[in-house]
Structure 1
Amino acid sequence: MKKCRKLFLVFFSLLLIILSAAGCEKKVNTESTQKDFDSFTNEVFKNEVTRDTLTLNFSLANPRNYGITNPPVTFGHYSLGEMKKSLLATENYLAALKDFSYSGLSDNQKLTYDILKNTWNLELKSGNFPLYSEVLGPTTGLQAQLPVLLAEYNFYTKEDIDTYVKLLPNTYDYFKEICEYEKQKSKAGLFMNDTVVDSILAQCESFISDKDNNYLIEVFNDRVSSYKGLSKKEIKAYKKANKDAVLNSVIPAYQLLIDTLKSLKGTGTNDGGLAGFPKGKEYYSYLLASNTGTSRSPEELITMLNDSISNNLKALNALVTKDSNIYQEAANVSYPLSKPKEILEYLRGAIKEDFPPCPNVDFTVKYVHKSLQDYLSPAMYLVPAIDNFKNNVIYINQNSDYDKQPIFNTLAHEGYPGHLYQSVYFRSTNPAPIRNLLNFSGYAEGWATYVEFYSYHMAGFSEAEASFLDHSMAANMALYCRLDLGINYEGWTLAQTASYLKQFGITDKSTARVLFSTMVEEPALYPEYGIGYLEFTNLRNKAEKYLGYDFNLKNFHKFLLDTGPAPFEIIEGHMKSWLKTQK
């Protein structure tokens, strides 16, 4: 469900060169302004994409083509000092951005300008919460996703293998910085509660339990053995270097994290959501805006979610009134296919009617290693490099807990017309490089959720069955998001959470406890999906209302995909101009 994207926080660092000439003329030289703006955004891109080696490797297959040579080999840094530097850099970025004449930019550049301005202004607000951010988490935390990202590190050239082997020994120092940050959180009374600690500890201990046969040793050995052009001597040397790094740096790094978390366990002062911290409510508001890309206040989102729950339940009741057997029929639908590759090929063809054409690319379906199955999401899509998006990877988690989740809809979310399709489509439009580096989870996960629910109508079910499943999932997603806001913004206790669930017939105490813990562990995660989905639905409703019979679903989807990842306020602003062209 959750795709793997850029692992580390993007801390905008200071440009060595600020283009002071931009926008200085009284009469706008359009050609010069546009050229300078491209130079500025490309300089920002090069500066940010080289902040850590994983980001660079997953973003670019050929860094030299972008003027990047001899970048540092590093995981980056995670400390208060780095955060302060990044905020200063953000202020400088904004100052440089404002020097450009907006009227002298092209339409695409104006869109990039609007997105950067919105992103950097929002980023500055994080300065009010220096010890509130959290890089660890049971499912989407760094320690959970790092093994998969390292296993999928791209070996485009022999130099990439050398870089990877140099990178691994840095794991310990990077984890040490994280541990120091967690200690600072503990001193400030902002450390996680014991339940979250236990979840992270279990994940870390599982990953390093079988040291000599660690996942990263197994995967690397297979990959380097099959790499063409290496001699037996080189393969042997690489295997030894990797194993030494895993045993002497990666595993000790995880052990350091385990020891640190155990020593800090019990220092958490808040067993509830973020609202239980001194500035928790304000921080959650910032986190919500950052994660979802919405400009709506928490109060507005609560109203939106309540309406969504109510409207979807009404739609379900109407379907049941029309056909009293629909619940049973929908619960026992039979999907046309069960094998992942067959499903993806089927979906690739089935979306042609309502979605614009996308470049034909390859994809590989892999399965999550057994040591990670208990702690990762049902499926993940790894976003491809900007300049090498023809090869794509989707991971499926075979954890038995996910057996009841239909793989058909999961692959619609991760593959076609979800993450894979959207990522490849956007890259094929050749946007400014910086656009590919910015992370808008609300757009990405909102789109994937929107098309996941849409996929029920592509599975060969009757329209009544598809609609019932669609509305059921939408109601559930809105309910989860409502719990997230209730617990993290309004400060609901476990008892209040259980009381809220009872009105929907959910009376099992263990269910209430699991849902409460889930929202506490990773706040504002579900809203990426649910609120993102509602924002897309809202845009569609507005387009349909304005255009009436002129509305074309395929054209609407093309507009959204051409616009690309962005805050929803900006997308809606550009949609107003687009709508006029459709009349």
Structure 2
Amino acid sequence: MKHTIKLGALAIAAALACASASADIAAAAAPAAAKSIASSETAKKLGALANEYWDAEARFDPVMAGEAGDNRFADQIGMTISAAERAKQFALYRDYLKRLHEIAREQLSARDQTSYDILDYELKSALRFEAFPEHLLPLNQMDAMPVTLANYASGQGAQPLNTVRDYKAYLNRLQQLGPWIDLAIADMREGIKAGIVQPRAIMQSALPQFKQLVSKTPETNIFYTPVKNFPKSFSDADKRALAEAYRATIEKTLNPALARLATFVEKDYLPHCRASTGWSALPNGMNWYLARVQSQTTTDLTPEQIHQIGLKEVARIQGEYARIGPKMGYHGPASGLPAWVSQQARYKPFKTDKEVIAAYRKLDETLRQKLPALFSLRPKTPLDLRLEPELSRATASDHYTPPAADGTRPGVFWSVVNDAKEYGKPGMVTLFLHEGQPGHHFHIALMQEMNLPNFRKFGGNNAFTEGWALYAETLGTEMKLYDAPEDWFGHLNDEMLRAVRLVVDTGMHAKGWTREQSIKYMRETLGYPESVARSETERYMAWPGQALGYKIGALKIQALRAKAEKALGPKFSLPKFHEVVLDEGTLPLSLLEAKVDRWIAANK
């Protein structure tokens, strides 16, 4: 009995102790639970705001969204060139920024804090452009809505043309293109009055494109191409209805609008275009250019600092030219190597564009074997290789288009072959590493496969996007793809182009360089024929600052890799470094640096 009582007392004591401990745990857990709930609610607020922001962006510029892989608004072109639309958008940016700053960042997870910081950066960067009337410069030889939509007519671009619904969506865009053109003409007339006009040279290059879009009959118009390529699955009734709708749209509204545009540019706009070259020649142009530099590099580097970086890189690469030239049979001055290579028939082995694309496909097969050793993180989405459509070949460069998030198209590497017999082999390896894999495809296709907010999945910045692709070119060394001297030269020559861009872009837009100075510098440094140096120069004239992101971004990634290799020594893993750089999608360079620093600290 006593024994039983004793056991019972112990049990009661134990129970009391457990009850006390449970109470302590519950007391401690209550704030933690409350904190978790608060954190969850804060994350929901951020997620809702982020989605609202991207939806507004996609509706404002649905063509941009489609190019990035979001095809929800494939039946709209947007009126980004409308002053009223721009005002609405900037008002939204201010509201979003205010609401963002009301969210308690410290209550968010590390990943959500990154989204917070990127959204904060993007909104502030976008608001910098409110002071500059970009809508008064609605088109140029590199970027014009009529040409963009014409390139979609084949059904191979960013606009899918596989179903009746797709055909109706594209038709709806064509029906909006006439009003867009009339608004663009009105904007350019206002730009003439305000002294905000394009340089004459780039509009002279754009004019033939616009003239080419005008046709004598609807059936010979490029926008009628979809009717000639109906999928076999379409019913006869759908074919008849769509053919008539396309024909009527082209005849009654689109072709007349295209003719008005070509006539206006030739007769009214070109005579008022400016003879000056750089953006700083425009009203408030230097501040405008500075905003573009900041946006494109995600840094606070000044044009002068960037110019000096460019000159330093040009000198370094010319030192490499001096080393590699004799191995190729060249013994002249280093600066003359590119021109010499361009004149060697043995480096132009192709006769047809099919031979060019076949060479890229063979390279792609080689990379599929080599890349797993360098990357633990790789996209599941396939990469396709295609030739650039004829309309845009004259002004396009080899490029990549992202896959559609809904799986309707893969990532695509587009090869631009104007004359196969003049297509140089030395630059092919480095080009494909940049535009194909592991360059743009590994970055952009991976982003779409991650659980990221839409504004991060489809958005981004130029410094990371192009910086990663240029860094990817350097990986040809690890994979022994540059063992042939001409292939190493091809890589160096691409690097030289990106270094020269730093010099000529800042030279033209901040230092008073003329178009002719840039052409001369590019010919002397890159060995380009006059026509190529001219088209490259005019690209930088049309897109101030865009060319700066490549080298600035690549140099940062290379510096971060060197820093990690030095700090971690034998613990450094190249596949892991690549995973750290890529596994959260696009970041402003300052956020990327902070992320790599955290990784180094955690593994040191």
Q: TM-score, normalised by structure 1?
A: 0.83
2 CA distance for matches of 1:71 and 1:329? 44
Q: 1:138 corresponds to which residue? A: 141
Deviation at 1:291, TM superposition (A): 2.6
Q: 1:480 corresponds to which residue? A: 501
Q: 2:190 corresponds to which residue? A: 184
Q: 1:104 corresponds to which residue? A: 107
The answer to whether the 8 A contact 1:488-1:519 is kept is no
Task: Structure 2: give runs of 5+ residues left out of the alignment.
Answer: 1-33, 332-336, 350-355
Deviation at 1:133, TM superposition (A): 6.5
**What is the one-letter code of the residue matched to 2:371?**
I
The answer to whether the 8 A contact 2:195-2:283 is kept is no
Deviation at 1:110, TM superposition (A): 0.9
Deviation at 1:243, TM superposition (A): 3.0
Deviation at 1:116, TM superposition (A): 0.9
Q: 2:212 corresponds to which residue? A: 206
Q: 1:373 corresponds to which residue? A: 393
**What is the one-letter code of the residue matched to 1:253?**
A
Q: 2:60 corresponds to which residue? A: 51
Q: 1:412 aligns with which of 433, 438, 463?
A: 433
Deviation at 1:86, TM superposition (A): 1.4
Superposition pairs for residues 22-421 of structure 1, below 5 Å? 29-55=38-64, 73-131=76-134, 134-149=137-152, 151=155, 152=157, 153-155=159-161, 158-209=164-215, 211=217, 212-222=219-229, 224-226=230-232, 228=233, 230-262=234-266, 263-319=268-324, 338-377=358-397, 379-388=398-407, 391-400=410-419, 403-404=423-424, 406-421=427-442
Mark the CA change 1:534 to 1:176 in structure 2 (over 3 Å): closer, same or farther. Answer: farther
Deviates most, 157-166 or 409-418: 157-166
1 CA distance for matches of 2:71 and 2:547? 35
Q: Which has the higher contact order (CA 8 A, sep 6+)?
A: 1
1 CA distance for matches of 2:86 and 2:475? 40
Deviation at 1:312, TM superposition (A): 2.3
Mark the CA change 1:280 to 1:432 in structure 2 (over 3 Å): closer, same or farther. Answer: same
2 CA distance for matches of 1:464 and 1:387? 42
Mark the CA change 1:98 to 1:74 in structure 2 (over 3 Å): closer, same or farther. Answer: same
Mark the CA change 1:252 to 1:490 in structure 2 (over 3 Å): closer, same or farther. Answer: same
1 CA distance for matches of 2:508 and 2:415? 30
Deviates most, 253-262 or 393-402: 393-402
2 CA distance for matches of 1:163 and 1:575? 43
1:50 partner SS: helix
Superposition pairs for residues 524-563 of structure 1, below 5 Å? 524-563=545-584
CA distances 1:179-214 after superposition (whole Å, capped 9, x unpaired): 211111111111112222211111111233565333
2 CA distance for matches of 1:514 and 1:221? 33
Q: 1:11 corresponds to which residue? A: none
Deviates most, 344-353 or 157-166: 157-166
CA distances 1:515-541 after superposition (whole Å, capped 9, x unpaired): 654432332232233333333333333
The answer to whether the 8 A contact 2:381-2:403 is kept is no
Mark the CA change 1:101 to 1:71 in structure 2 (over 3 Å): closer, same or farther. Answer: farther
CA distances 1:540-560 after superposition (whole Å, capped 9, x unpaired): 333333333433222221111
What RMSD, in angstroms, separates the aligned Cα atoms of the two structures? 3.5
Residue 427 in structure 1 maps to residue 448 in structure 2? yes
1:272 partner SS: coil
1:225 partner SS: coil
2 CA distance for matches of 1:487 and 1:71? 37
1:265 partner SS: helix
Deviation at 1:369, TM superposition (A): 2.9
2 CA distance for matches of 1:480 and 1:547? 34
The answer to whether the 8 A contact 1:61-1:388 is kept is no
**What is the one-letter code of the residue matched to 1:393?**
V
Mark the CA change 1:197 to 1:496 in structure 2 (over 3 Å): closer, same or farther. Answer: closer
Quick one: percent identity of the two aligned structures? 21
Q: 1:14 corresponds to which residue? A: none
The answer to whether the 8 A contact 2:501-2:547 is kept is yes
2 CA distance for matches of 1:528 and 1:508? 25
The answer to whether the 8 A contact 1:50-1:72 is kept is no
Mark the CA change 1:180 to 1:532 in structure 2 (over 3 Å): closer, same or farther. Answer: farther
The answer to whether the 8 A contact 2:68-2:459 is kept is no
1 CA distance for matches of 2:526 and 2:359? 35
CA distances 1:352-388 after superposition (whole Å, capped 9, x unpaired): 22123424333443333323321222x2322222342
2 CA distance for matches of 1:339 and 1:38? 45
Deviation at 1:264, TM superposition (A): 1.6
Mark the CA change 1:384 to 1:502 in structure 2 (over 3 Å): closer, same or farther. Answer: closer
CA distances 1:545-577 after superposition (whole Å, capped 9, x unpaired): 333343322222111111311221221122211
Q: 2:594 aligns with which of 573, 578, 583?
A: 573
The answer to whether the 8 A contact 1:132-1:283 is kept is no
Mark the CA change 1:160 to 1:444 in structure 2 (over 3 Å): closer, same or farther. Answer: same
Deviation at 1:504, TM superposition (A): 5.0
Deviation at 1:170, TM superposition (A): 0.9
**What is the one-letter code of the residue matched to 1:571?**
L
Which structure's CA Rg is the greater one?
Answer: 2
1 CA distance for matches of 2:144 and 2:452? 29
1 CA distance for matches of 2:532 and 2:199? 19
Deviation at 1:30, TM superposition (A): 0.9
CA distances 1:18-77 after superposition (whole Å, capped 9, x unpaired): xxxxxxx999811211122212212223333233554565566785xxxxxx99845334
Deviation at 1:497, TM superposition (A): 4.3
Mark the CA change 1:467 to 1:193 in structure 2 (over 3 Å): closer, same or farther. Answer: closer
The answer to whether the 8 A contact 2:83-2:135 is kept is no
2 CA distance for matches of 1:580 and 1:463? 39
**What is the one-letter code of the residue matched to 2:263?**
D
2 CA distance for matches of 1:73 and 1:325? 54
Q: 2:9 corresponds to which residue? A: none
2:198 partner SS: coil
Mark the CA change 1:463 to 1:194 in structure 2 (over 3 Å): closer, same or farther. Answer: closer
2:400 partner SS: strand
Q: 2:544 corresponds to which residue? A: 523
Q: TM-score, normalised by structure 2?
A: 0.80
1 CA distance for matches of 2:74 and 2:131? 32
CA distances 1:279-333 after superposition (whole Å, capped 9, x unpaired): 2222111112223333322222223222222222234435568997697999867
Deviates most, 422-431 or 529-538: 529-538
2 CA distance for matches of 1:499 and 1:169? 44
The answer to whether the 8 A contact 1:422-1:561 is kept is yes
Q: 2:4 corresponds to which residue? A: none
**What is the one-letter code of the residue matched to 1:354?**
L
Q: Which has the higher helix share?
A: 2
2:189 partner SS: helix
2 CA distance for matches of 1:573 and 1:473? 29
